[in-house]
Chain A
Amino acid sequence: MNFVPMTQFRPNFMNAATHNFHVTQHKFSVSDSLHVFTIFSSGMASKLLHNRLRSLCRVSQLSNIRYSNSIFSTSQNHAQCRFYSEASQQTPLNPPPPPSPNNTSNTTSSTSSLNEFELAKFSSIAETWWDAEGPFKPLHLMNPTRLAFIRFTLCRHFRKDPNCTRPFEGLKFIDVGCGGGILSEPLARMGATVTGVDAVDKNIKIARLHADLDPQTSSIEYRCTTAESLVEEQRQFDAVIALEVIEHVADPAEFCKSLSALTIPGGATVISTINRSMRAYATAIVAAEYILHWLPRGTHQWSSFLTPEELVLILQQASITVQELAGFVYNPLTGRWSLSDDISVNFIAFGTKPGNRDETLD
């Protein structure tokens, strides 16, 4: 096992079922458990952690992988990939983390042996990501509201006609932490040239399969990589969008610097996350995870939430000026999300990087 610095370790993603495939290929060792325990030995974190460790011991005996339940929220997978992607980048010959550890088509030679079984397997899981009534239902419900904010602010920033059906034609967007592509596809339908990145290869495969179903979205470029490596490749985009990612990142300040480096001068950055407030603890953690079971327990860690002030500050340090903040509120009677000024739970920030876009256009 490759060395992973302690600061990058975030155990808040663990869950029994997801551990199925991680345990079998990673061989989670006792030393890791100790690391976990020492870092988070206080407060509410430890209680969650106890459960994780217990379930971990139970699960390590399991060798079956259950596909249908093995997909959970984006945040979960992001967090996993934050950890495992660092590991895998140092050893590129590690097999990608697919659901079945056995017959993965490794690297170059055996692709012709890809068979119906593989395709069917990917597709059977793919449906859960895109099943609007399935485990990702809260995300699907919130999606139109997030898109409405993005459309409004970006149309105004890039001075595009909001009544046009494809206002983002000619603009390059990147969706950091795209998951199954729930945000990338609508952006592509709005005309943008979208690149979706996620560090979990499974998500990328699912996103690719689904995007190929519609000619309008089959041009999305999906890559299994991280924002930092794209910075190294010196890619730049008109708008960088990272929704519900920053609360799972090890170092939010560094992450914001990477996002800023990916944005061209005069471009836009959109980040959404959950506020570190008491109300958010009651709503997003207690209600969503424990009572309503919208998200698996341990998806979010309250201590890693950012307040709007903190987010504005670290974006400022990354030379991005936040122009607009908005919140999402859920109305339990109608079952719909809407945009509001209430940023006490979920909020989204739109910022711009100083500079003139025209100078940098190719």
Chain B
Amino acid sequence: MNRLSVGRRIASNICGVRSVHRTLCSITGVKNPDLVSEKEPFDKPGLTDDIPQYDIAIVGGGMVGMALACSLATMPLTKQLSVAIIDSNPALVNNFHIKKEDPPDPRVSTVTPATISFFKDMGAWEFVQQHRHAYFDKMQVWDYTGLGYTRYNARDVDADVLGCVVENKVLHKSLLSCVQNTDFQKTIYSSRLSAVTFPTRSSVTSSSGTSSSASGSSARLELDNGNSMYAKLVVGADGSKSSVRELARIQTTGWKYSQSAIICTVEHAVENFCAWQRFLPNGPIALLPIGENFSNIVWSMDPKESVDRNSMSEDDFVNAVNDALDSGYGPHPQSKSFEGGNIFSWLKPDGISTHEGFEVPPKVLKLASQRLAFPLSLMHANSYASKRLVLIGDAAHTVHPLAGQGVNMGFADACSLSKVIAEGVAVGSDIGEVTLLKRYESERKAANITMMAILDGFQKAYSIDFMPINVLRALAFNGAQYISPLKRKIISYASGNQLLPLFT
């Protein structure tokens, strides 16, 4: 048994060296691993000389970050993990309630049926239903050339809704209160991340006192307010300008669109139940119902025009919007009828929406909120996962808002990552291990890249005013409108029920 005693002496020697360092170093020393009680309960964040150790550190407590926390909190295998949420947004810590009389916030998102079922599984959808939200079951898409239009109806795919439009702050608060209602151990740090160090090979031989063996393989995070922590897995959910991604030096691919978007809330005389989108020469304008008589406008345009339209008076802006939605830039498309030998009659289109004629969107009466403008770009991180780090949501990918898919891709990322983490916990693996995280990456990367390619294709196709391309677009509109199997596939893919457009 000499080898055993040798082994034990190696361990005690390491500890001996470290305890010397403990007295010398002014920064936090290291914990003697032999003194760790072997029966220490691991369900609370351990302490390594005042530096807390967490299982997961979610950097960024926005909608996608909170969705991940909520999903982990509601699954039996992961609800005992200790999580730190790092976000300087005061909304996470102060407990203000959203009142129904609050004016509608222009920052809204369209959630697809797949996301709605994700929320329902977590138990976070009832809160949304108690606040302002708007289901819509119809959608109309056309462009300025007037050569074609497409109407979608939820009943084409035997569904009740095509989606729901909810204010971002409602979604966020819903997820936050869902997490707070469970006994999930989360700690919210109201600060920004200043530095993150990932363990390298050399940290394994730590006998220099800079990292303790108990956390020698964890990532170390430092915050602006001086707090530090160790985490086995760092999740970057901090948006398109992710600091985690920059600190981890993950490269991205992408380009800026020469477009900016203006968003605002407007009011109508009647309630709006349909989502409208018209592609104009410089970018699409979308009118989305958000409940009561309000709608949300997302208008993409040239950066110069966006500056002008942001600063023009409210009345002028309302006129411009009405013009853009109605007959500005081009004529209305013709509704096709099917009596008497029409060229499309051989298709025998079925479905409710194919028989619906073209409708003009409801007139906008006045602005109900301030206008916000932001530039648009496409971005995709080259890798979503590396050792002890994973990116979700906008930190991993940003898209054009033209199909309302951006945050839905983020929610799908959060759902997939929480499932992968649960699988890892089930077989006792280290959740920060690269092989586990790469499974998340391979699942989501293919789906995200496909969606981004399609959206980018749309954006490029609709920004060219060239007669042959216009005719192609018109064919596409008419094809989608009258070829019912194609329409069903489009609705199913855009609702998030299909991950890839063709082979599922």
Chain A residues within CB distance 8 Å of chain B:
92-93, 96, 105-108, 111-112, 114, 116, 118-120, 123-124, 126-127, 132-133, 140-141, 143-144, 147-148, 151, 163-165, 185-190, 201, 204-205, 208-210, 212-216, 218-219, 222-224
| Contact, CB under 8 Å: B10 / A114 | yes
- Interface residues contributed by chain B, number (CB under 8 Å): 41
| Contact, CB under 8 Å: B201 / A127 | yes
User: Residue-by-residue, is B411-443 near A (CB-CB < 8 Å gives 1, otherwise 0)?
Assistant: 000000000000111111110011100000000
| A–B complex contacts, Cβ < 8 Å, 20 sampled | A96-B6, A107-B6, A111-B10, A116-B205, A119-B205, A132-B434, A143-B429, A144-B423, A144-B429, A147-B427, A147-B429, A165-B425, A186-B427, A186-B429, A189-B430, A208-B7, A213-B214, A215-B40, A218-B38, A222-B7
Assembled-state Cα–Cα distance A218/B6 (Å) = 17
| Contact, CB under 8 Å: B426 / A119 | no
Assembled-state Cα–Cα distance A214/B33 (Å) = 9
Q: How far is the CB of B389 from chain A (nearest CB, A)?
A: 15
The chain A residue with its CB closest to the CB of B48 is A215
Residues of chain B lying within 8 A (CB to CB) of residue A143: 427, 429
The chain A residue with its CB closest to the CB of B31 is A215
| Contact, CB under 8 Å: A148 / B6 | no
| Contact, CB under 8 Å: A165 / B80 | yes
Which of the residues A93, A111, A140 comes within 8 Å of B435, measured between beta carbons? Answer: A140
| Contact, CB under 8 Å: B3 / A204 | yes
Q: How far is the CB of A199 from chain B (nearest CB, A)?
A: 10
The chain A residue with its CB closest to the CB of B199 is A213
| Contact, CB under 8 Å: B428 / A127 | no
| Contact, CB under 8 Å: B428 / A132 | no
Assembled-state Cα–Cα distance A105/B9 (Å) = 10
Residues of chain B lying within 8 A (CB to CB) of residue A201: 3, 7
Q: How far is the CB of B440 from chain A (nearest CB, A)?
A: 13
Assembled-state Cα–Cα distance A213/B207 (Å) = 12
Residues of chain B lying within 8 A (CB to CB) of residue A215: 33, 36, 40, 42, 46, 53, 214
Question: Is the C-beta of B468 less than 8 angstroms from some C-beta in chain A?
Answer: no
Q: How far is the CB of A170 from chain B (nearest CB, A)?
A: 11
| Contact, CB under 8 Å: B77 / A141 | no
Q: How far is the CB of A227 from chain B (nearest CB, A)?
A: 16
Q: How far is the CB of A122 from chain B (nearest CB, A)?
A: 8
| Contact, CB under 8 Å: B7 / A213 | no
| Contact, CB under 8 Å: A223 / B427 | no
Q: How far is the CB of A139 from chain B (nearest CB, A)?
A: 11
| Contact, CB under 8 Å: A218 / B7 | no
Question: Is the C-beta of B398 less than 8 angstroms from some C-beta in chain A?
Answer: no
The chain A residue with its CB closest to the CB of B78 is A165
Residues of chain A lying within 8 A (CB to CB) of residue B3: 96, 201, 204, 224
Assembled-state Cα–Cα distance A187/B427 (Å) = 8
| Contact, CB under 8 Å: A214 / B204 | no
Which of the residues A93, A124, A185 comes within 8 Å of B428, measured between beta carbons? Answer: A185
